[in-house]
Amino acid sequence: MTNYTNYDFYIDTYKGNMPKDDFNKLVIRASYEVRKNIFNRPITSYENEVQLATCSIADILLNIEQLESKKDTTISGKMLKSESVGDYSRTFDTSSINDIEAEISNQKLKIIEVIRMYLLDTGLLYRGV
């Protein structure tokens, strides 16, 4: 599977700020999201729109990964904010795991919005109805 964009486009045209290693990992999944929504159609004449959508989705996927890792630091449904060892101390964040799951869900919906924003006028999303 080929990726719909590259890091140079992400930095120079999209003006993203994700580290290259993260981008290289996430661009594969972002390209897949675009590919499945355009039904693997050729992107001739719409390369820029597809690349912009892919870059934006990669950013969203990074947000989701960060939220997932934040969710992994929960204790009894509460977010661990800080922890000390000497005289043992723990501080919990006021946001709960439900808040994080809701934000992850919102980010996943945002992927669909981004695909529509960049690709709706291209005809690539046409489903034949």
Query: What beta strand segments (E) does the chain contain?
Result: 74-75, 78-84, 89-96
Q: What is the pLDDT of residue 74?
A: 61
Q: pTM of the full predicted structure? A: 0.84
Q: What is the pLDDT of residue 71?
A: 78
Q: What is the pLDDT of residue 24?
A: 97
- Token pair, residue 119, equals 């690709």
Q: What is the pLDDT of residue 128?
A: 84
Q: What is the pLDDT of residue 87?
A: 79
* CA–CA gap between residue 14 and residue 82 (Å, rounded): 35
With a cut of 50, list the residues of the chain below it in pLDDT.
none
Q: What is the pLDDT of residue 57?
A: 98
Which is nearest to 30 in space by CA: 8, 4, 67?
Answer: 4
